[in-house]
Structure 1
Amino acid sequence: MLPVVRQQVSALEPTLARVCCYHLGFTDERGEPSGAASGKLTRAALMTAAAQGLGLRPEDVRTPAAALELLHNSTLVHDDIIDADELRRGRPAAWKVFGAELAILAGDALQALSIQLVVDDPGPGRAEISSAFAEATRLVLAGQSREFTVRLGAGAGVAEYERIVEEKTSALLQCALVTPALRAGASDHVLAALRGAGRHLGLAFQIANDVEDIWGDPAVTGKPVRGDIQRRNPSFPVLAGISAAGPVSDRLRELWEADGTSEAHLREMAGLVEESGGRRTAEKTSRGHLDTALEHLGRAELFPAATAELTALFDRIVNRTA
C-alpha cells in the first residue's frame, strides 16, 4: 500500500508534494529521503484483515486502504494546526516547518487525493465505497467543528463527547472495516456488525488516548503530555472528574476555569483528575467499549483467522501493546 501512497503524493503540485511527503515521513524538511516513521497504518491494517476475513485478497483493497490512510493523514495535518501541536511522531509538525498556510493546503490535497483514488478505483462496489468515504469525510469535519462547542466549557456531557468521537474517530475506523464488506457484497447483517465494531473501537481508542495525553510517555506518543488540559479541551477523564461531586471536583473546576498554564498548574489539575476518579472511570469505560467492539466483530462471522487478527489489532490500537 505504501508505494501507492508515495506515488500518488509525489504526483501532487511540487510544493504540496514536499509538505505531504514530509508529514508522511518519506522525506525531511529539505526534501531528502528520511527514515522517519510513516505512522502505524492502523486503518490500512484493519481494512486488510477484514478483507481476508471476507475471502478477499489484500490487493483487492490496496487502493481504498491507501486512500483511507491519506484521508486519515489529512485530518492529522489539520488537527496539529487547530490544536497548535508542535510535534507529530516525535518531530516538528508540518505546520511548524512549512507554515500553517501551506499545511492547510497540504491537508486539503491529501483529502482530495483520497476521494479521487476511491472514485477512480475500478473494483466492485466502487459507488458504495466512494459514498462511504464521502460520508466519513463529512463526519470527521462535523466532529472537528462540534469540538469547538465542547471547548467552550467543562460542563459538556458524555453524550456530546461520544457524538464528537463517533464523528472524528469512529467514522474512519468504521470506513476501514466496512469498505471490504462493500467490495465483497456482504449482507446488511455483516455491514451492521462491522459498523458497530468500528464505532465502539473508536470510542475505546479515543478515551484511552485521552488518558495517555495526561499520563502517557512522550517517547511512546511522540507528543508532550497534558496538551488537552493546557488547551482546556475537555477530554473524557476531565469530564468524568469534574462531574463527580465533592471538594476535589470543585477544585478541579476552579483550576480548569482559571487561565493558568504553568507546569505546576497543569500537574495539579492532572492530579485532581486522578483523585476525583476521572482516570479510573475513563479506563473502565474504554475497556467496556473495547469489549463491545469485539462482540460486534464476532457477529460479523468472518473467517476465524481474520477474527483473531482483528481482535489482536483492536487490543493493540486501544492499549498500544507491541
Structure 2
Amino acid sequence: MVRSAVLPVVRQQVSALEPTLARISAYHLGFTDERGEPSGAASGKLTRASLMMAAAAGVGLRPEDVVSQAAALELLHNSTLVHDDIIDADDLRRGRPAAWKVFGTGLAILAGDALQALSIQMVVEDPGPGRAEISGAFAEATRLVLSGQSRELTVRLGPDAGVAEYDRIVEEKTSALLECALVTPALRAGSPGHVVAALRGAGRHLGLAFQIANDVEDIWGDPAVTGKPVRGDIGRRNPSFPVLAALAAGGAAGERLLGLWQSDDSTAAHLREMADLVEESGGRRTAEQTSRDHFGSALAHLGRAELSPAATAELTTLFDRIVHRTT
C-alpha cells in the first residue's frame, strides 16, 4: 500500500523538474533507463515512507494525511544517495550504473540538489496542520545529514576519533531522516511533546542499530544479500564501528590493524587481513552487541510513544526488517 500511495506522488513531482534534472532523477529512482525509456528497475525499499505511514496510523491519521510528506522524505533520502555515490566513487546503485556514471558528475550533483530542494518545497507548500513544525523538522534533518557527511569526510582515526565521534556522525547522517519519518505524523496530529520525544529517540537508536549492523555486513556480509562489494569501507579507510571498536581494544592485533590501516594497500589480501584483525581484536563481537543494544533501546522508546497496538506491532516489524534484513 505504501508503494502504491507514495510512488505516484514521487513520479509526479520529479516530472515537474527541469527536463534534464527530471531525466537523471527518474533514472536514479528506477523509473527509466539511461535513454529515458520506462524501466522495471527497483525504486528502493521506501523504508522511510513505510515508517511514516505506520507512525501515522499510530497517532490516528489516515495515509493521505502524510502521503505528501512521505514522498518528500523519500526524495530527500534519494538526494543523499545521488551525492553519496559521487563522494564514495561508487559505480553501482541498485544493480545499475550510478547516476553520475551515466550522466556525469556535474549533472548528478545538480540532480541531487534538485531532489533536496523539491523535498523541502513539498512540505513548505503543504497546507495541512503542523506545516511549520514539519517544515522545520525536514530542514533540520537536511542540515544534520549534510553535517554528518562533512564529519565523515574529515574524521581521522586517532585519539580524537573514536566511538563517540562515530555515534555523532551516524546520528546526523542516518538517524536524522529516520527520526523525521517517525515524528512527522506526530507533529501533524499535534501529539504531546513526550510522544514526539519518544519517537525521536526511537529513530535515533534505530539509525545507530542499523548503521552498526550495516558496518558488520560491509566487512563480513554476502554481496549477493547486501548488493555491494565486501570490505568496501575498509578499502576506502572509512572508520566503521567494528574498526573503531577493534582499535579501542588495543593489543597486538589492534596495533597491527592500525599499521595496515595507514598503508595505501587495498589489495584483496590486505583487506582480508585487516578484517581478520578486526575480528581477532573483538571488533565484530562488540559491534554486533552494540547494534543489539541500540535495537532494544529503539523498541523501548517506541513503547513509550503511546501509539495504537497495531501500529506499534507494525513498526516493531519494520524496525527488525531495517536492522536485520528480515522479510
TM-score, normalisation: structure 1:
0.98
> What RMSD in Å do the two structures reach over aligned CA positions?
0.8
Letter in 1 for 2:255: D
8 Å contact 1:72–1:172 — kept in the other structure? Answer: yes
Could you tell me which of 239, 245, 249 is aligned with 1:244?
249
Distance 1:251 1:154 in 2: 14
1:129 counterpart residue number: 134
8 Å contact 1:87–1:222 — kept in the other structure? Answer: no
Structure 2, unaligned runs of 5 or more: 1-5
Distance 1:216 1:8 in 2: 36
Shift of 1:71: 0.2
Shift of 1:149: 2.1
1:14 counterpart residue number: 19
Distance 2:164 2:116 in 1: 28
8 Å contact 1:89–1:221 — kept in the other structure? Answer: no
Could you tell me which of 93, 99, 118 is aligned with 1:113?
118
Asked whether 1:283 is paired with 2:288, we answer: yes
Q: Which moved more, 1:221-230 or 1:127-136?
A: 221-230
> CA offsets, 1:176-210, max 9 Å, x none?
00000000000001011001000000100110111
Could you tell me which of 63, 72, 78 is aligned with 2:77?
72
Please list, as runs of the form range in 1=range in 2, the aligned pairs for 1:216-231 lying within 5 A after superposition: 216-231=221-236
Give the 3-state SS of the residue equivalent to 1:29 in structure 2: coil
Distance 1:246 1:141 in 2: 35
Shift of 1:90: 1.5
> CA offsets, 1:5-59, max 9 Å, x none?
0011111111111110111010111111111111110000000000000010111
Please list, as runs of the form range in 1=range in 2, the aligned pairs for 1:50-89 lying within 5 A after superposition: 50-89=55-94
Aligned pairs, number: 321
TM-score, normalisation: structure 2:
0.97
Could you tell me which of 305, 313, 316 is aligned with 2:310?
305
Give the 3-state SS of the residue equivalent to 2:191 in structure 1: coil
Letter in 2 for 1:203: L
Letter in 2 for 1:38: S
Distance 2:40 2:234 in 1: 32
Distance 1:43 1:225 in 2: 25
Asked whether 1:193 is paired with 2:198, we answer: yes
Identity %: 82
Structure 1, unaligned runs of 5 or more: none
2:163 counterpart residue number: 158
2:298 counterpart residue number: 293
1:180 counterpart residue number: 185
Runs of 4+ in 1 over 4 A off after TM superposition: none
Distance 1:98 1:223 in 2: 21
2:154 counterpart residue number: 149
Shift of 1:245: 1.9
Shift of 1:306: 0.3
2:9 counterpart residue number: 4
2:107 counterpart residue number: 102
Shift of 1:74: 0.3
Asked whether 1:319 is paired with 2:324, we answer: yes
Q: Which moved more, 1:70-79 or 1:240-249?
A: 240-249
Letter in 1 for 2:238: N
Letter in 2 for 1:139: L
8 Å contact 1:154–1:242 — kept in the other structure? Answer: no
Letter in 1 for 2:197: A
Q: 1:154 to 1:38 in 2, by over 3 A?
A: farther
